[in-house]
Amino acid sequence: MSKSRWFRTAMPATLTCMGALGLGATALLWHPTTVSAQANTDMYVKTVQPILANNCYKCHGGENHKGGLQLDTKERLMKGGHDGPVIVPGHPEKSMLVALIRHEGPADDPKPMPPKSKLSDADIASVTAWIKAGAVMPD
């Protein structure tokens, strides 16, 4: 094999390899946590959605939109309520929904959710973990 032939075949392969590595590293850096989008979606479907369906949909699902908020589809949940977005993916500490289910809303307008009861600590932890991992849900 002549030198120039080697160059023509090996160089593109090397460059492609380096490009793939670069993309991989970038994807890792961009990803907010180590949980994959698929695992995060599964978390929503198996754990979070049933919690919301059992405790919230009667006021925030279907025809019901108390506070201008509906929680039953991705579009509606991400849009938020009268006060804007209620979830900041990756940041439960900045998510109004988390403050309200922890019954830690602002003193002048506390809005504990659900209004007359409180989710179990395990349920609150599940919702918080899902938001922290990126709040991915099916469309």
Q: Answer whether 101's CB lies under 8 Å from 113's CB.
A: yes
CB atoms within 10 A of CB 66: 15
Among 113, 131, 135, 136, binds ligand HEC (CB under 6 A): 113
Q: Are 106 and 70 contacting, i.e. CB atoms less than 8 angstroms apart?
A: no
SS3 category, 95: coil
Kindly identify the residues of this chain, within the stretch 41-60, that bind ligand HEC according to CB under 6 A.
55-56, 58-60
Nearer to ligand HEC, 24 or 106 (CB): 106
82 binds ligand HEC (CB under 6 A): yes
- Which is nearest to 49 in space by CA: 74, 23, 15? 74
Distance, CA of 46 to CA of 54 (rounded, Å): 13
Does 77 bind ligand HEC (CB under 6 A)? Our answer is no
Q: Which of 66, 76, 79, 102 binds ligand HEC (CB under 6 A)?
A: 66
Binding residue for ligand HEC, selected from 35, 43, 48, 100, defined by CB under 6 A? 100
Residue of the chain from 61, 76, 114, 137 that contacts ligand HEC (CB under 6 A): 114
Candidates 9-17, 25-33, 107-115, 128-136: pick the segment binding ligand HEC (CB under 6 A): 107-115
Q: Cα separations (Å) of 139 from 41, 44, 45, 77, 87?
A: 10, 12, 11, 11, 16
133/63 Cα distance (integer angstroms): 29
For residues 35 and 51, which CB has a smaller minimum distance to ligand HEC in the complex? 51
The site for ligand HEC (CB under 6 A) is made up of 55-56, 58-60, 66-69, 80-83, 86, 96-97, 100-101, 111, 113-115, 119
